[in-house]
Amino acid sequence: MDIIINWIQVKPTLKDFFIIASVSIVSMHVWCFLLGNAFLKMNWIEEEKRFNTFGENIIFSFLEENLSRLIPIMITMEIWGFGKMLFLVIILSSFIFGIVHGYFACIFLQGIWGIVFSVIFLKFGGLYQEYITAWISVSIIHSVYNMPVNYFKKRAYG
């Protein structure tokens, strides 16, 4: 845990953003592909057949990050600062982020990545009360992750 906290506290560069975005997006796709396929085979989740347009993808990503990261982390940081309460809020908001995606099994897919998005949010400004920068950074990563998901869903079901 100390390694993550120390890493978050180092101010990132633009190069860091592209590296972290690339690694997290690839990792999310691998994680969701492996775990999602396992859950589908066990009938834990149904594949959602709806897909978003390019514009909806961007709007929904920014909206989800607003509700799941910006508001809860900003309020917690302003009241309690960086500490145990923040980690509790991150876990809770990530749990809700997973559930909101449709099924209990989504906690293991989107919920885990909600925690990763929260760490990225903190790294890219949330820790220093640069909330808008953090929100835009994590929303861009979220949007870029969702684009191929929606493209392949559209090809499969569209």
Query: At residue 28, does pLDDT exceed 70?
Result: yes
Question: Between residues 74 and 149, which one has the greater pLDDT?
Answer: 74
Using 50, 70 and 90 to split pLDDT, how confident is the model at 57? Answer: confident
Using 50, 70 and 90 to split pLDDT, how confident is the model at 48? Answer: low
Query: At residue 100, does pLDDT exceed 90?
Result: no
In Å, how far are 41, 99, 133, 137 from 120, measured between CA atoms? 31, 20, 11, 8
Q: Phi, psi (5° rounding) for residue 42?
A: -90, 5
Q: CA 58: distance to chain centroid?
A: 13
C-alpha gyration radius of the chain: 16
Query: At residue 106, does pLDDT exceed 80?
Result: no
- Buried-exposed string 120-152: b where 16+ CB fall within 10 A, e elsewhere: bbbbbbbbeeebeebbebbbbbbbbbbeebbee
